[in-house]
Structure 1
Amino acid sequence: MATSDPVADARGRARSRRTRRWIWGIVFVVVGVLVAVAVVAVGYLGRLSASYDKAETLPSSEVFPTATARPADVNAEAVNILLLGSDSRKGLGGSLGDIRGQRADTMLLVHIPADRSGVQVISFMRDNWVEIPGYGNAKLNAALAYGGTPLLVQTLEQIIDVRIDHVAITDFEGFKGLSEALDGVTVDNRIAFKNGGYTFPQGSIDLRGDEALAYVRARYPFSDGDYQRVRNQQAFIKGMVDKLLSRETLTDPGRIAASVDALAPYLAVDAGLDAGTVASLGISLRDVDKSEILFLTSPTLGTGMVGDQSIVKPDWDGLAALSDALQNDTVPQYAAEHPSQ
């Protein structure tokens, strides 16, 4: 058994990797949309599949916890995909060993119901104060530092009592290339702010590359910190989906191919999330309209302090209701009854 202090080790590595924080997990949600819009050109799928296969495949043992530590799969036809992201490709090595000591700033669960009637994207705030198996109570994002992706998956599954089927990880270079391949993304920005040397006025703004990264990373310009960052990230996803489903993209196979080409080399997925699986999901979602892609945040009760740590207090009653909605494919009804912060 190792004798080192995992908390001290994590802090030490985090200090030495300040520029490699885990802060982006939304990009993979567009891959299924890309495939969905591309199936109209069957002869084109071969090239798209070849591009997607450039993604790194991770063994299940390095992504998921042991079977005995996981909830029962009570809604087997539904699909749940956990999205994570990294500043550095070095954190996505073959064993994912370098992920230990880093913390996930952004975590999204994409829920695809059994009847494929829509897609729900649920943000989990990194500072949720929860029990991490084997380590006691801590911030949710500490699970990655303590035990890598398997422990983060186990912690989230313990919170929502729903099995996560797939995990996808990407980094900023893939995101930058994707936003540029789409010739920019238009976002409805609700609050004017500055970050990373960029100014973001209120209203409709066009973002790409480093400017887009500065937008979705911003936390400190806002009085409510991560809450507004989550809102901005969701606004960006909506803008990206609008661009993907726009006529200018749907009628431009080259743009679709360029988008997949830009993302795939910077993408790591579990072994089960291969091109065939993504294509199958895309085909099953071909009738989903962008209005049926729902964005929400896991329920919380605001912020608080534990010692010298600022935390987010989970709403456990609300999480129980969310768990029931995920198990029964009633997330839209849940969202109507539990508006996100």
Structure 2
Amino acid sequence: MDQHDLDSIREGIARRDAGAEDETERPRRRGLRRALIAIGVIVLLVVGSATAFVAYLGYTVNDNVTQENLLPEKRTPIEAPDGTPVKETGTGTNYLVIGADTRPGDAGRSDVIVLVHVPADGETIQMIHFPRDLYVSIPGHGKNKINAAYAFGREPLLVETMEQLLKVRIHHVAKTNFDGFKKMTDAVGGVRVYAEEASNGSGNGGPIVIKKGWNTLNGEQALGFVRERYTLSEGDISRGRRQLAFIKALFLKATAPETITNPLKIAKFTDAATGNLVLDQTLTVGMMRDQALALRNIRSGDIVFATAPFTGYGTSPEGASIDVVDTKGMADLGEALRTDTMDDYGDVFVTP
């Protein structure tokens, strides 16, 4: 990245903050926006890599990102509760983000299951965490924990399970692993994230102590922050909220002026964000660019998240601990997604 590129980025930031609309600057601004290809819609990884595209769109991202058949080959018809077919495209766009903990013994299970809904107006990003112990019907496998769908049939079966649970269409899928959290955090020089409760854990570098309130974390600490669940009051539910809080914190740091105007940070973050990123077979760079442009005015308060509705904890017939689905709440959530009325979906979203 040469000085001219840096000057262009700084000018773009200044114009955004000041709200300038000078006609003579529009060609340059459009050029910069084409470079800022954000996938903020599908989680920290994709949103973060978007900022990094400023310098590396030409080769790093295309070389790193892998595309696989993450969507079902044959889409099962979906009917709304009233019996009417659900359109393939629906209203707004739904992205399923899957994350796996790569520690020994955890292979084959999805530890992060987040549905990201981007409304048609592009004014918000709504993230919904689905606890991995949520007890649901898995097509062809009876009832089990939702992350068992991933173990039985990988991403396509998890997509189908989610679609039948919510009665909505999942349009795109992205997956990564926890190691990316650590690398991206270090690439931007650490993140500041809010913890709802304190915890004590451990990492490769020793004890990881998280205090209640704001914490500034390096990569190893961030990894401990998003992994911890045993010492938290609601186990995986609390961990899910932590993961979403971290996603937001990383997004804000990755898109901050001190990051996007620093060539070294951009280079490191691009590689970290895309090195383990896999996208579905239909999600193209052009589509990512179009979504990024639609979300260019997103700010901190526009990114909200919630936990999928459940009524409490129980035990499966096999004796496993489970989270019991709130049937009515899930139906209401599906209706809000289908009709693009998530802003009216109760007071469940928070903006940490």
TM-score normalised by the chain length of structure 1: 0.79
For 1:243, the equivalent position in structure 2 comes to 253
Report if aligned partners of 1:84, 1:107 keep a CA contact under 8 Å in 2.
Answer: yes
What secondary structure is seen at the aligned counterpart in 2 of 1:164? Answer: coil
Report if aligned partners of 2:64, 2:271 keep a CA contact under 8 Å in 1.
Answer: no
For 1:139, the equivalent position in structure 2 comes to 145
Report if aligned partners of 1:157, 1:163 keep a CA contact under 8 Å in 2.
Answer: yes
Larger radius of gyration: 2
For 2:76, the equivalent position in structure 1 comes to 68
Q: Percent identity?
A: 37
Matched, 1:53 2:59: no
Report if aligned partners of 2:181, 2:222 keep a CA contact under 8 Å in 1.
Answer: no
CA distance in 1: counterparts of 2:170 and 2:287, whole angstroms: 15
Matched, 1:184 2:190: yes
Q: CA deviation at 1:242?
A: 2.4
1:84 to 60, 82, 98: 98
For 2:126, the equivalent position in structure 1 comes to 120
Q: CA deviation at 1:198?
A: 1.2
CA distance in 1: counterparts of 2:247 and 2:302, whole angstroms: 14
CA distance in 2: counterparts of 1:247 and 1:288, whole angstroms: 15
| Structure 1 pair 303–160 and aligned structure 2 pair: CA distance change class (3 A) | same
CA distance in 1: counterparts of 2:109 and 2:68, whole angstroms: 21
| Structure 1 pair 67–234 and aligned structure 2 pair: CA distance change class (3 A) | closer
CA distance in 2: counterparts of 1:209 and 1:182, whole angstroms: 10
Code of the residue aligned with 2:289 in structure 1: it is A
Q: CA deviation at 1:246?
A: 2.6
What secondary structure is seen at the aligned counterpart in 1 of 2:345? Answer: helix
Report if aligned partners of 1:78, 1:114 keep a CA contact under 8 Å in 2.
Answer: yes
For 1:109, the equivalent position in structure 2 comes to 115
For 2:272, the equivalent position in structure 1 comes to 262
For 1:4, the equivalent position in structure 2 comes to none
CA distance in 2: counterparts of 1:182 and 1:80, whole angstroms: 28
What secondary structure is seen at the aligned counterpart in 2 of 1:301? Answer: strand
| Structure 1 pair 225–88 and aligned structure 2 pair: CA distance change class (3 A) | closer
For 1:23, the equivalent position in structure 2 comes to none
| Structure 1 pair 311–140 and aligned structure 2 pair: CA distance change class (3 A) | same
Which segments of 5 or more consecutive residues in structure 1 lack a partner in the other structure?
Answer: 1-25, 92-98
Code of the residue aligned with 2:57 in structure 1: it is L
Q: CA RMSD in A?
A: 2.7
| Structure 1 pair 53–123 and aligned structure 2 pair: CA distance change class (3 A) | same
2:328 to 292, 317, 333: 317
Moved more, 131-140 or 236-245: 236-245
| Structure 1 pair 78–70 and aligned structure 2 pair: CA distance change class (3 A) | same
Moved more, 180-189 or 193-202: 193-202
Matched, 1:226 2:242: no
Report if aligned partners of 1:35, 1:283 keep a CA contact under 8 Å in 2.
Answer: no
CA distance in 1: counterparts of 2:100 and 2:342, whole angstroms: 28
CA distance in 2: counterparts of 1:73 and 1:89, whole angstroms: 39
| Structure 1 pair 339–317 and aligned structure 2 pair: CA distance change class (3 A) | farther
CA distance in 2: counterparts of 1:237 and 1:31, whole angstroms: 8
TM-score normalised by the chain length of structure 2: 0.77
Code of the residue aligned with 1:174 in structure 2: it is G
| Structure 1 pair 339–283 and aligned structure 2 pair: CA distance change class (3 A) | closer
For 2:43, the equivalent position in structure 1 comes to 29
| Structure 1 pair 49–27 and aligned structure 2 pair: CA distance change class (3 A) | farther
CA distance in 1: counterparts of 2:255 and 2:158, whole angstroms: 32
Instruction: Give the number of equivalent residue pairs.
Output: 300
